[in-house]
């Protein structure tokens, strides 16, 4: 038997290289029998695992078929992606456990209550959440899930029986269905019958934007904490429903790499993660090592990757009493590719993912009681810690914008964090919090550490290198008033029914309607009004009417001389108030204290037609964030123009052109620059982001004085060079700037301070005249996150925003990303101000 097997494997290896025709046996443990009634992947999807890249449709088909055939598996659809693909979850355990699944779940959740001390874990199943290919073009994970699900359904014998009796496996075969589908298409359409490992082959060079991201080009492995995307929302609901003990996240890395499993860099673990979490991760790692040793695969751990930002799948569990584990497999990209480690086949990468999926559950089985006890103790410890600390909770809100306030509360709600209405209005640190416009989050609840991870500011660090952002403090990202509370005397009822903010209109007017610009969805409202062909104006100074003060940027819609008559206009605006959650006032006179409604200080606003540069050379994340903002939040059409055919596009039909950040300065050539200049001179508004600053400067579209660092390494050894240079990277931190609210870019902001997210090292000198610097970093700008001393010096009093006239048009520059990862609600309005009020700047 053994000899036959060996022969088979050798023969298999040879075949593999020639035609990539592996069989399922290549992946599976061979010392056990498999239930013949369970369909193999090839019988359902028409090809062997690893022969082609599985499309999401086929993956779905197989998982549904498997669930129907196996009494160990139930399947559910938890929602749909932006492209309408189901977001699947398989629950795998014994048929007996399936009968009692709800009580198993309840018992498991009880373990995360602070008063769980008496609970006995010795007979309790452990919960393991295994997810694959959150980056769609790291496809070995999702392809491995076919073989893995088959194994779980079909494997026979006491070992698997015992394992499943003690475990509930939540199997998420595709964390990113839209990205997986996009990548499978790419890899499959280039596959030759004679598989070609030449690294220059087109198969291994995906076109922009690639399958890594989801539909709107988001990196979904940054969204576990902000939960802004449908895929993450489904996942997070499952997470909190089950509070898994182990969560694994199967990725791929560069082709010349081997295989990585966590723990990562020991010095780069978030301080809210307990030390024992890393020790348990390391112990689980010994199972991966043994399993990979057995099949001869190279691997490493405790390097490269960190465990810092809680928005990643392998880190999020660490602040929730679980253990998150990152796997990274060197990628074959397509079906086979030459590498520094020899020819790397797609099946080989799949087998490593399969093998570590299996070693994960073996570790879970053997370490079950230890890991369950760790979870139990975690929640007891953090409860005691919260009882001891002086901070008892947080308050956040905005007296002018209940919608932004609501959206932060929505994140808490998705994480099952409780929050309260205010019992009464109160003022703290000079900020007034009003009932109905603010919430209090007490720390005295299930997971105070998760709340701290979302609310706290951190400016000191044990390491100066970060794999991702170093700060994500949510009330700053939302630009909300907020404070720590040392007592909860102002907390009222806990919010039970969490319903969206309602818009309103005070009545029908024969004169005019007004709404202030502060509420989050006012751009959506204004856009509908302008698209309807109605006239609207913006107030350039504040005024008071009928006892109410209207701030800078108030929108006025006169009733007379419109396309709609007074009744139709009222009906239309009532609909807009409702769909945009805006409060619209009907007024009966134009006479105000301050500028009257007929004043020239009300400027007409034009209908906008916005174009966005995308394609090769543009950073797809930044472009996707803008597309998503316009399309899903403000319901505004935006035309994506690809760099490939930009030269042939007639720009005259657009009022605005947005150039997102790019990797180089050569995205658009000199001819394109001239074309853009001509268009601006004719009245266009050009909006550039981040390193587009260099391109604008080089092409003399914008005069910019940049502050440069004069850093020279002293006493830095050659092998320290990477760390030394890495410490100068501003990976993503939060900084405070002064805001001139009378400048159109500041309309809709209540405070004269604003928090900005920054992940560039571009530092602009301010203009000589103060009114030309509506946004300027303060003298002590760091609010949260890491920046090197040298860079902080450069940042002080520099400006992140420029607006200059050119002919009849405007050139506007933001050096910082105002749309970061869909959760920076607090700065989205800056871009909308540039769009609607650009001509006023």
Backbone torsion region of residue 50, taken as left when φ is above 0, otherwise alpha when ψ lies between -120 and 50, otherwise beta: left
CA 18/CA 139 separation, integer angstroms:
21
CB of residue 333 vs Zn ion: minimum separation in angstroms? 13
CB of residue 243 vs Zn ion: minimum separation in angstroms? 24
CB of residue 310 vs Zn ion: minimum separation in angstroms? 17
Pull the structure tokens for residue 516. Answer: 């202030």
Reported as type and span, the H/E element at residue 409 is helix 402-414
CB of residue 251 vs Zn ion: minimum separation in angstroms? 3
CA 79/CA 231 separation, integer angstroms:
8
**Cβ(626)–Cβ(638) below 8 Å:** yes
Smaller CB distance to Zn ion: residue 40 or 251? 251
Pull the structure tokens for residue 404. Answer: 């932004």
Residue number of the CB closest to Zn ion reads 251
Smaller CB distance to Zn ion: residue 138 or 516? 138
Smaller CB distance to Zn ion: residue 251 or 524? 251
Smaller CB distance to Zn ion: residue 261 or 521? 261
CA 146/CA 48 separation, integer angstroms:
10
Pull the structure tokens for residue 635. Answer: 């319901």
Q: How remote is the C-alpha of 127 from its chain's centroid?
A: 25
Give the number of other CB atoms < 10 A from CB of residue 768.
7
Smaller CB distance to Zn ion: residue 175 or 689? 175
Q: Could you give the C-alpha distances from 504 to 175, 339, 433, 572, 812, in angstroms and in order?
A: 39, 62, 22, 12, 34
CB of residue 468 vs Zn ion: minimum separation in angstroms? 12
DSSP per-residue letters across 469-491: -S---HHHHTT-EEEEES--TTE
Pull the structure tokens for residue 698. Answer: 């080089």
Smaller CB distance to Zn ion: residue 138 or 206? 138
Smaller CB distance to Zn ion: residue 135 or 802? 135
Smaller CB distance to Zn ion: residue 251 or 540? 251
Smaller CB distance to Zn ion: residue 268 or 690? 268
Give the number of other CB atoms < 10 A from CB of residue 57.
13
Smaller CB distance to Zn ion: residue 265 or 656? 265
Smaller CB distance to Zn ion: residue 211 or 826? 211
Smaller CB distance to Zn ion: residue 137 or 773? 137
Per-residue exposure over 640-675, b if at least 16 CB sit within 10 Å of its own CB, e if not: ebebeebeebebeebbbbbbbbbeebebbeeebbeb
CA 528/CA 779 separation, integer angstroms:
40
CA 317/CA 700 separation, integer angstroms:
49
Smaller CB distance to Zn ion: residue 108 or 135? 135
DSSP per-residue letters across 542-601: -EEETTEEE-TT-EEEESTT-SS-HHHHHHHHHHHHHHHT-EEEEES----EES-TTSTT
CB of residue 221 vs Zn ion: minimum separation in angstroms? 6
Smaller CB distance to Zn ion: residue 141 or 197? 141
Pull the structure tokens for residue 257. Answer: 């790499």
CB of residue 78 vs Zn ion: minimum separation in angstroms? 22
CB of residue 77 vs Zn ion: minimum separation in angstroms? 24
Smaller CB distance to Zn ion: residue 52 or 175? 175
**Cβ(813)–Cβ(830) below 8 Å:** no
Smaller CB distance to Zn ion: residue 132 or 630? 132
Reported as type and span, the H/E element at residue 384 is helix 368-388
CB of residue 297 vs Zn ion: minimum separation in angstroms? 19
Is beta strand 809-814 parallel, antiparallel or unpaired with respect to 685-689?
parallel
The contacts of residue 347 (CB under 8 Å, 6+ apart) are: 16, 20, 22, 26, 27, 49, 50
Q: What sign for the dihedral angle of Cα 258, 262, 265, 266? A: negative
Q: Position of tokens 């969206």?
A: 500
Would you give the DSSP letter of residue 222? Answer: G
CB of residue 679 vs Zn ion: minimum separation in angstroms? 39
CA 790/CA 659 separation, integer angstroms:
29
CA 273/CA 315 separation, integer angstroms:
9
CB of residue 135 vs Zn ion: minimum separation in angstroms? 4
Pull the structure tokens for residue 39. Answer: 């369909």
Smaller CB distance to Zn ion: residue 356 or 608? 356
CB of residue 300 vs Zn ion: minimum separation in angstroms? 16
The contacts of residue 790 (CB under 8 Å, 6+ apart) are: 709, 711, 728
Which residues are near Zn ion by CB under 5 A? 135, 138, 251
CB of residue 141 vs Zn ion: minimum separation in angstroms? 9
CB of residue 241 vs Zn ion: minimum separation in angstroms? 25
Q: How remote is the C-alpha of 694 from its chain's centroid?
A: 27
CB of residue 288 vs Zn ion: minimum separation in angstroms? 17
Pull the structure tokens for residue 830. Answer: 């800056």
CA 394/CA 162 separation, integer angstroms:
46
CB of residue 229 vs Zn ion: minimum separation in angstroms? 16
CB of residue 330 vs Zn ion: minimum separation in angstroms? 12
Smaller CB distance to Zn ion: residue 240 or 251? 251
What radius of gyration, in Å, describes the C-alpha atoms of the chain? 29
Q: Position of tokens 């039909």?
A: 653
DSSP per-residue letters across 785-810: S---HHHHHHHTT-BSEEEEEETTEE
Give the number of other CB atoms < 10 A from CB of residue 807.
13
β-sheet bridge partners, residue 657: 611, 686
Q: Which of 655, 672, 667 is nearest to 620 (CA)?
A: 667
CB of residue 615 vs Zn ion: minimum separation in angstroms? 23
């Amino acid at each position: 038997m053994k000899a036959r097997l060996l022969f088979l494997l050798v023969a298999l290896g040879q075949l593999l290289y020639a035609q990539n025709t592996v069989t399922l046996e290549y992946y599976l443990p061979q010392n056990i029998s498999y239930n013949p009634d369970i369909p193999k992947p090839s019988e359902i999807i028409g090809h062997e695992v690893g022969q082609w890249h599985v499309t999401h449709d086929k993956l779905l088909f197989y998982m549904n078929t498997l669930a129907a055939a196996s009494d160990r598996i139930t399947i559910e659809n938890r929602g749909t992606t932006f492209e309408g693909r189901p977001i699947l979850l398989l629950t795998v355990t014994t048929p007996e456990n399936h009968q009692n699944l709800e009580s198993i779940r309840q018992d498991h959740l009880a373990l995360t209550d602070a008063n769980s001390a008496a609970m006995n874990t010795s007979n309790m199943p452990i919960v393991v959440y295994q997810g694959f290919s959150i980056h769609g073009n790291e496809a070995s994970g999702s392809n491995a899930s076919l073989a893995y699900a088959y194994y779980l359904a079909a494997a026979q014998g006491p070992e698997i029986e015992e394992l499943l009796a003690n475990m509930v496996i939540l199997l998420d075969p595709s964390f990113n269905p839209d990205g997986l589908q996009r990548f499978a298409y790419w890899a499959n359409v280039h596959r030759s019958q004679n598989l070609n490992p030449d690294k220059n082959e087109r198969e291994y060079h995906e076109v922009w934007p690639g399958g890594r991201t989801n539909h709107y080009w988001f990196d979904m492995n940054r969204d576990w904490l902000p939960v802004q995307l449908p895929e993450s929302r489904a996942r997070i609901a499952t997470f909190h429903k089950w509070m898994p003990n182990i969560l694994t996240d199967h990725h791929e890395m560069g082709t010349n790499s081997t295989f990585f499993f966590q723990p990562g860099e020991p010095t780069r673990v978030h301080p809210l993660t307990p030390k024992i979490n890393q020790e348990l991760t390391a112990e689980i790692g010994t199972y991966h090592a043994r399993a990979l040793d057995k099949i001869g695969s190279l691997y490493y751990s405790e390097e490269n990757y960190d465990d810092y930002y809680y928005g990643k799948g392998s880190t999020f569990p660490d602040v929730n009493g679980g253990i998150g584990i990152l796997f990274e497999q060197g990628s074959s990209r397509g079906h086979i590719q030459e590498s520094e480690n020899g020819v790397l086949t797609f099946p080989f990468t799949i087998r490593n993912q399969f093998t570590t999926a299996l070693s994960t559950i073996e570790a879970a089985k053997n370490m079950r009681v230890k890991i369950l006890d760790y979870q139990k103790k975690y929640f007891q410890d953090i409860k005691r810690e919260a009882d001891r600390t002086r901070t008892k909770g947080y308050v956040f809100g905005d007296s002018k914008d209940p919608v932004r306030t609501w959206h932060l509360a929505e994140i808490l709600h998705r994480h099952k964090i409780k929050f309260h209405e205010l019992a009464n209005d109160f003022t703290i640190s000079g900020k007034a919090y009003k009932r109905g416009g603010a919430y209090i989050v007490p720390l005295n609840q299930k997971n105070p550490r998760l709340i701290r991870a979302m609310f706290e500011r951190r400016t000191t660090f044990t390491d100066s290198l970060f794999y991702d952002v170093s700060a994500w403090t949510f009330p700053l990202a939302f630009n909300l008033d907020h404070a720590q509370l040392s007592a909860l005397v102002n907390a009222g009822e806990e919010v039970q029914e969490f319903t969206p903010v309602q818009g309103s209109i005070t009545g029908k007017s024969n004169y005019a309607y007004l709404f202030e610009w502060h509420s989050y969805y006012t751009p959506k409202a204004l856009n509908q009004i302008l698209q309807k062909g109605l006239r609207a104006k913006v107030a350039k100074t504040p005024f008071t009417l009928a006892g109410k003060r209207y701030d800078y940027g108030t929108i006025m819609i006169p009733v007379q001389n419109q396309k709609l008559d007074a009744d139709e206009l009222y009906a239309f605006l009532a609909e807009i108030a409702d769909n945009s959650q805006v409060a619209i006032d009907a007024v009966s006179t134009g006479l105000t204290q301050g500028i009257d409604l007929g004043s020239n200080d009300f400027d007409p606003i034009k209908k906008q037609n916005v174009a966005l540069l995308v394609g090769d050379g543009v950073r797809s994340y930044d472009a996707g964030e803008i597309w998503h903002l316009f399309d899903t939040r403000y319901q505004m059409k935006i035309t994506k123009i690809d760099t490939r055919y930009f030269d042939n596009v007639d720009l005259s039909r657009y009022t605005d052109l947005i150039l997102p950040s790019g990797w180089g300065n050569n995205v658009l050539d000199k001819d394109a620059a001239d074309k853009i200049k001509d268009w601006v001179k004719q009245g266009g508004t050009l909006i550039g982001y981040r390193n587009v600053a260099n391109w604008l400067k080089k092409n003399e579209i914008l005069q910019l004085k940049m502050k440069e660092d004069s850093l020279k390494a002293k006493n830095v050894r050659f092998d320290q060079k990477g760390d030394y240079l890495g410490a100068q990277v501003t990976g993503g931190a939060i900084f405070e700037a002064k805001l001139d609210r009378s400048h159109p870019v500041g309309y809709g902001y209540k405070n004269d301070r604003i928090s900005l997210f920054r992940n560039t090292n571009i530092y602009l000198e301010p203009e000589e005249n103060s009114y030309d610097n509506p946004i300027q970093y303060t003298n002590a700008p760091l609010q949260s996150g890491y920046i090197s001393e040298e860079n902080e010096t450069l940042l002080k009093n520099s400006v992140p925003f420029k607006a200059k006239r050119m002919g009849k048009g405007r050139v506007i520059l933001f050096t910082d990303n105002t749309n970061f990862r869909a959760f920076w609600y607090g700065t989205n309005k800056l871009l909308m101000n540039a769009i609607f009020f650009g001509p006023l700047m």
